Structures are given as structure tokens and as C-alpha cells.
Amino acid sequence: MAAKKRATKKRATKKAATKKRPVAKKAASKKRASKKKASSKKKASAKPGANGKSPSKSEILNHIAAETDLSRKEVSAVLDSFTEMVGDCLTKKKYGMFRMPGLFKISVKKVPAKKAGYFVNPFDKDAPPAYREAKPASKRVRVVALKALKDVVN
């Protein structure tokens, strides 16, 4: 019987809480409506990425097409070709590195496999050795900004 009394008390508190929620939802809906109006104003700006986010692929294509008087389809083909060329340059058969003059350098570094076993933390030698799982060999891609890009940002 004690269990039944507790269950009824919980139901009563839940009902009281649900009575308060519709009032909060109405206030939230007013806030959401004002946010929607503000966000629609942000979308009207012409600059790509003007809303505080990085530009989408579509915004990039539209911007380059407007700047270069090329069609959007041609710009898309150029970007696809560029992506393919970067991928080819980073493969093992080619250079393993790609540099866009003045902007960035992309390189691939081979990370060797790590054996499983116990190791000692070099910063806390008093602690007991910890066990490390084995990791397979992998490749790490690294992108470095070059001087001209740093100057543009600063």
C-alpha cells in the first residue's frame, strides 16, 4: 500500500508541472518567432559566410562565378578538378605534398604502428605502468598556413 501512495503523489507533482509548461512554451514560441525574423535578415546579406558560419559549397560557387564571369557549372568543374589534383598529389605514388602558393601547404605523414603493451608515463614515473592497446599504422594529413595567408588574416 505504501507503494501505491507514492505513485499517486508522483502523478500529482507531474500534473502540476505540466500545467506550468504551456505558459513557458508560449513565451518560447515568441522568442523563436523573433529569432526567425532575425535569421531571415541575415540570409539577405550578399557576402558568403556573413552569418558567422563558414560559407557553403553553393555560396562559394556563386561567389566565384560572380567574380570571374564564369558559369556556375564551369566553376564547379574547376573545383572538382582541383580536388582531384590535390588527392593525386597526396598519394604515395606522387609527391605526398601539395602547396597552394601563398596560401597553404598540405602534407601526409606516415605514422608507424604501435605495439600493445605496458608503458610508463614519462611525466609521472611513480605511477604504475599503464596498458596500451595496439594501433595500426596510419597516415596523418597536415595543413599549414603560409605567410601570405597569415598576413591576410592579421
If asked whether residues 153 and 109 sit together in one domain, one would say yes
Could you report the average pLDDT of every consecutive run of 10 residues in the chain (154 residues)? 54 51 50 50 53 88 93 95 92 85 92 91 85 93 93 89
If asked whether residues 118 and 84 sit together in one domain, one would say no
Residue 106 pLDDT: 94
Q: Which three cell numbers stand for residue 12?
A: 500529482
If asked whether residues 89 and 108 sit together in one domain, one would say no
Asked whether residue 149 is assigned to any structural domain, the reply reads: yes
User: What's the domain count of the chain?
Assistant: 2
Residue 128 pLDDT: 87
Residue 112 pLDDT: 95
If asked whether residues 112 and 91 sit together in one domain, one would say no
Asked whether residue 27 is assigned to any structural domain, the reply reads: no
State the residue range of the domain holding 76: 55-95
Asked whether residue 38 is assigned to any structural domain, the reply reads: no
If asked whether residues 148 and 127 sit together in one domain, one would say yes
If asked whether residues 108 and 86 sit together in one domain, one would say no
If asked whether residues 114 and 90 sit together in one domain, one would say no
Contact 36, 46 (CB under 8 A): no
> Secondary structure of the chain in the HEC alphabet?
CHHHHHHHHHHHHHHHHHHHHHHHHHHHHHHHHHHHHHHHHHHCCCCCCCCCCCCCHHHHHHHHHHHHCCCHHHHHHHHHHHHHHHHHHHCCCCCCEEEECCCEEEEEEEECCECCEEECCCCCCCCCCEEECCECCEEEEEEEECHHHHHHHC
The number of angstroms, rounded, from the C-alpha of 24 to the middle of its chain's C-alpha atoms is 33
Residue 100 pLDDT: 92
If asked whether residues 90 and 110 sit together in one domain, one would say no
Residue 91 pLDDT: 86
Residue 5 pLDDT: 55
Asked whether residue 25 is assigned to any structural domain, the reply reads: no
If asked whether residues 108 and 154 sit together in one domain, one would say yes
